[in-house]
Structure 1
């Protein structure tokens, strides 16, 4: 693992996720309380949740995928993109939650 801080690393994850083909939207993966505190102090944070416990890093992202796309393939591509973000993601546990199937525009 590198010395890259969570605050510097998390926005890179957001960029990797949103650049992945098939991702239509990205949502906050952080707990509700953390999001509420962030809004109260008017801070701009990452949508990805990055946690470090005993030297092990855990990354969670939440995405929206088109109902026409293969959800499993998109989620797998997102996980690969997150792992390829930086050496800081090497060995991290990556969780991809599909929070919504986005209906195509008519």
Structure 2
């Protein structure tokens, strides 16, 4: 049973994602319309997209990974961090999108 709302969970997921070794950048995984509304209303939204439907949660996060890192391993670690942050019910799904490979600083 979910006792925590998506609005409560999303900021905690954002923090968990950025704490994972290998995550160089984090991007919004939320719909463009939601981001545009927040911009107009001058409110800060979370980067994680947390959708709840019929007792199930779908969490999507979007990250940038260094070209020096194993993107699959980083994505797997991010998925585990998201589950530990609260998306761990049997009906929850977690998607990690690697949106960008970031060149290492020289």
| Kept in 1: contact 2:2–2:55 (CA 8 A) | no
Partner of 2:88: 89
Q: Give CA deviations for 1:6-58 in whole Å, capped at 9, x if unaligned.
A: 11110000000000010000000001111111111011111000000111100
Hey, which bits of structure 1, 4+ residues long, moved more than 4 A? none
1:1-106 maps to which residues of 2 (within 5 A)? 1-86=1-86, 88-91=87-90, 92-106=92-106
When normalised by structure 2's length, the TM-score is 0.94
Number of equivalenced pairs: 105
When normalised by structure 1's length, the TM-score is 0.94
Q: Over the residues paired in the alignment, what is the CA RMSD in angstroms? A: 1.0
Q: Give CA deviations for 1:35-87 in whole Å, capped at 9, x if unaligned.
A: 1111110111110000001111000000000000000000000000000112x
Report deviation, 1:89: 3.3
Unaligned runs of 5+ in 1: none
Unaligned runs of 5+ in 2: none
